[in-house]
Amino acid sequence: MDSHGQYEQQVVWAVVGTGIGPLLLAATREGLVNVVFHADEAVRERALDRLADRLGAEPVESPGSPLLSEAIHQVGDYFAGERRDFELPLDWSLISGFNRQVLRELTTVPYGAVVGYGDLAKRVGQPGAAQAVGAAMGSNPLPVVVPCHRVVERDGGIGGFGGGLEAKRRLLALEGVLPEPLF
Protein backbone atom coordinates (compact mmCIF):
# COMPACT_ATOMS: atom_id res chain seq x y z
CA MET A 1 0.00 0.00 0.00
CA ASP A 2 1.08 3.57 -0.55
CA SER A 3 1.05 6.29 2.13
CA HIS A 4 -2.67 6.94 1.49
CA GLY A 5 -3.70 3.32 2.12
CA GLN A 6 -4.23 2.65 -1.60
CA TYR A 7 -2.77 -0.34 -3.43
CA GLU A 8 -0.07 0.69 -5.83
CA GLN A 9 -0.35 -0.64 -9.37
CA GLN A 10 1.83 -3.70 -9.85
CA VAL A 11 2.82 -4.89 -13.31
CA VAL A 12 4.81 -8.09 -13.75
CA TRP A 13 6.01 -9.64 -16.97
CA ALA A 14 7.74 -12.67 -18.44
CA VAL A 15 8.65 -13.93 -21.89
CA VAL A 16 7.50 -17.39 -22.96
CA GLY A 17 8.59 -19.36 -25.99
CA THR A 18 5.79 -20.50 -28.30
CA GLY A 19 5.26 -22.04 -31.71
CA ILE A 20 4.98 -18.52 -33.15
CA GLY A 21 8.02 -17.08 -31.36
CA PRO A 22 8.53 -15.44 -27.98
CA LEU A 23 5.52 -13.76 -26.40
CA LEU A 24 5.73 -11.19 -23.63
CA LEU A 25 2.98 -11.70 -21.06
CA ALA A 26 2.24 -8.90 -18.60
CA ALA A 27 -0.21 -8.95 -15.71
CA THR A 28 -1.60 -6.71 -13.00
CA ARG A 29 -3.55 -7.66 -9.87
CA GLU A 30 -6.67 -7.57 -12.07
CA GLY A 31 -5.38 -10.14 -14.55
CA LEU A 32 -3.46 -10.57 -17.78
CA VAL A 33 -3.13 -7.10 -19.30
CA ASN A 34 -0.88 -7.50 -22.35
CA VAL A 35 0.46 -10.10 -24.77
CA VAL A 36 3.16 -8.92 -27.18
CA PHE A 37 4.43 -10.80 -30.25
CA HIS A 38 8.07 -11.19 -31.31
CA ALA A 39 9.32 -10.27 -27.84
CA ASP A 40 13.00 -9.83 -28.60
CA GLU A 41 14.90 -7.26 -26.54
CA ALA A 42 13.99 -4.21 -28.63
CA VAL A 43 10.28 -5.10 -28.84
CA ARG A 44 10.26 -5.89 -25.12
CA GLU A 45 11.74 -2.53 -24.18
CA ARG A 46 9.20 -0.59 -26.28
CA ALA A 47 6.30 -2.64 -24.91
CA LEU A 48 7.44 -2.23 -21.30
CA ASP A 49 7.87 1.54 -21.77
CA ARG A 50 4.31 1.76 -23.17
CA LEU A 51 2.96 -0.27 -20.25
CA ALA A 52 4.74 1.95 -17.73
CA ASP A 53 3.26 5.06 -19.38
CA ARG A 54 -0.26 3.65 -19.65
CA LEU A 55 -0.46 1.94 -16.26
CA GLY A 56 1.63 4.29 -14.16
CA ALA A 57 3.91 1.58 -12.82
CA GLU A 58 7.28 0.25 -13.86
CA PRO A 59 6.86 -3.36 -15.06
CA VAL A 60 8.99 -5.89 -13.18
CA GLU A 61 10.26 -9.11 -14.74
CA SER A 62 8.84 -11.89 -12.59
CA PRO A 63 8.27 -15.21 -14.39
CA GLY A 64 7.55 -16.90 -11.06
CA SER A 65 4.90 -14.39 -10.01
CA PRO A 66 1.57 -15.85 -8.96
CA LEU A 67 -0.02 -13.16 -11.17
CA LEU A 68 1.61 -14.76 -14.24
CA SER A 69 1.99 -18.44 -13.40
CA GLU A 70 -1.46 -19.54 -14.59
CA ALA A 71 -1.20 -17.47 -17.80
CA ILE A 72 2.22 -18.99 -18.58
CA HIS A 73 0.83 -22.47 -17.92
CA GLN A 74 -2.29 -21.97 -20.06
CA VAL A 75 -0.36 -20.41 -22.97
CA GLY A 76 2.02 -23.40 -22.90
CA ASP A 77 -0.91 -25.83 -22.90
CA TYR A 78 -2.58 -23.98 -25.78
CA PHE A 79 0.51 -24.18 -27.98
CA ALA A 80 0.97 -27.85 -27.04
CA GLY A 81 -2.57 -28.51 -28.33
CA GLU A 82 -3.78 -29.39 -24.83
CA ARG A 83 -6.01 -26.35 -24.23
CA ARG A 84 -8.80 -24.86 -26.31
CA ASP A 85 -10.09 -22.14 -24.00
CA PHE A 86 -8.26 -19.68 -21.79
CA GLU A 87 -9.67 -19.36 -18.31
CA LEU A 88 -7.80 -16.33 -17.06
CA PRO A 89 -8.78 -13.10 -15.39
CA LEU A 90 -8.20 -10.29 -17.88
CA ASP A 91 -7.36 -6.66 -17.16
CA TRP A 92 -9.15 -4.67 -19.88
CA SER A 93 -7.68 -1.31 -18.80
CA LEU A 94 -5.63 -0.83 -21.99
CA ILE A 95 -8.74 -0.74 -24.19
CA SER A 96 -12.12 0.96 -23.99
CA GLY A 97 -15.30 1.85 -25.85
CA PHE A 98 -16.19 0.12 -29.11
CA ASN A 99 -12.86 -1.70 -29.27
CA ARG A 100 -13.42 -3.25 -25.83
CA GLN A 101 -16.98 -4.21 -26.78
CA VAL A 102 -15.75 -5.95 -29.95
CA LEU A 103 -12.93 -7.77 -28.15
CA ARG A 104 -15.23 -8.98 -25.38
CA GLU A 105 -17.59 -10.36 -28.04
CA LEU A 106 -14.63 -11.97 -29.78
CA THR A 107 -13.96 -14.07 -26.68
CA THR A 108 -17.19 -15.96 -27.49
CA VAL A 109 -15.84 -17.22 -30.84
CA PRO A 110 -14.86 -20.82 -30.08
CA TYR A 111 -11.60 -22.60 -30.75
CA GLY A 112 -11.48 -23.89 -34.32
CA ALA A 113 -14.05 -21.39 -35.61
CA VAL A 114 -13.68 -18.10 -37.45
CA VAL A 115 -15.87 -15.03 -37.81
CA GLY A 116 -15.87 -12.31 -40.45
CA TYR A 117 -15.13 -8.68 -39.64
CA GLY A 118 -18.65 -7.71 -40.78
CA ASP A 119 -20.28 -10.54 -38.82
CA LEU A 120 -18.48 -9.44 -35.67
CA ALA A 121 -19.68 -5.87 -36.29
CA LYS A 122 -23.28 -7.16 -36.50
CA ARG A 123 -22.82 -9.15 -33.29
CA VAL A 124 -22.05 -5.93 -31.40
CA GLY A 125 -24.98 -4.10 -32.97
CA GLN A 126 -22.93 -2.07 -35.45
CA PRO A 127 -23.62 -3.51 -38.92
CA GLY A 128 -21.46 -1.77 -41.47
CA ALA A 129 -18.60 -1.25 -39.00
CA ALA A 130 -16.35 -3.97 -40.43
CA GLN A 131 -13.43 -1.55 -40.83
CA ALA A 132 -13.82 -0.40 -37.24
CA VAL A 133 -13.74 -4.05 -36.18
CA GLY A 134 -10.46 -4.37 -38.09
CA ALA A 135 -9.11 -1.40 -36.13
CA ALA A 136 -10.22 -3.07 -32.89
CA MET A 137 -8.34 -6.22 -33.87
CA GLY A 138 -5.24 -4.13 -34.53
CA SER A 139 -5.47 -2.56 -31.08
CA ASN A 140 -6.02 -5.85 -29.22
CA PRO A 141 -3.69 -5.78 -26.20
CA LEU A 142 -4.32 -9.49 -25.52
CA PRO A 143 -3.81 -11.34 -28.82
CA VAL A 144 -3.94 -15.14 -28.78
CA VAL A 145 -5.85 -15.10 -25.46
CA VAL A 146 -8.47 -12.77 -26.96
CA PRO A 147 -8.39 -14.58 -30.32
CA CYS A 148 -8.19 -11.89 -33.00
CA HIS A 149 -6.57 -14.53 -35.23
CA ARG A 150 -10.07 -16.02 -35.59
CA VAL A 151 -11.34 -12.94 -37.50
CA VAL A 152 -11.16 -13.31 -41.28
CA GLU A 153 -12.27 -11.54 -44.44
CA ARG A 154 -15.67 -12.34 -45.93
CA ASP A 155 -14.13 -13.43 -49.25
CA GLY A 156 -12.14 -16.18 -47.55
CA GLY A 157 -8.91 -14.24 -47.09
CA ILE A 158 -7.32 -14.46 -43.67
CA GLY A 159 -7.01 -10.69 -43.25
CA GLY A 160 -4.27 -8.89 -41.38
CA PHE A 161 -2.64 -9.71 -38.07
CA GLY A 162 -0.42 -7.77 -35.68
CA GLY A 163 1.82 -10.79 -35.18
CA GLY A 164 2.26 -11.23 -38.93
CA LEU A 165 0.40 -13.41 -41.40
CA GLU A 166 2.63 -16.43 -40.80
CA ALA A 167 1.75 -16.35 -37.09
CA LYS A 168 -1.96 -16.09 -37.95
CA ARG A 169 -1.65 -19.05 -40.32
CA ARG A 170 0.08 -21.10 -37.63
CA LEU A 171 -2.56 -20.24 -35.03
CA LEU A 172 -5.37 -21.15 -37.41
CA ALA A 173 -3.56 -24.39 -38.30
CA LEU A 174 -3.10 -25.19 -34.59
CA GLU A 175 -6.88 -24.83 -34.20
CA GLY A 176 -7.60 -26.96 -37.27
CA VAL A 177 -9.00 -24.16 -39.42
CA LEU A 178 -6.13 -24.33 -41.92
CA PRO A 179 -3.84 -27.22 -42.82
CA GLU A 180 -0.44 -27.35 -41.13
CA PRO A 181 2.28 -25.67 -43.23
CA LEU A 182 4.43 -28.16 -45.13
CA PHE A 183 7.63 -26.35 -44.16
148 is catalytic: yes
Angle at 175 between CA 116 and CA 103, to 5 degrees: 45
Q: Which long-range contacts link 166-175 to residues 24+ away (Cβ below 8 Å)?
A: 166/20, 167/20, 167/21, 167/37, 170/19, 170/20, 171/20, 171/144, 171/147, 172/114, 174/19, 174/78, 174/79, 174/81, 175/84, 175/111, 175/112, 175/150
**Residues 77, 108: contact at Cβ < 8 Å?**
no
- Which entry of 94, 148, 152, 167 is annotated as an active-site residue? 148
Q: Which residues are catalytic?
A: 148
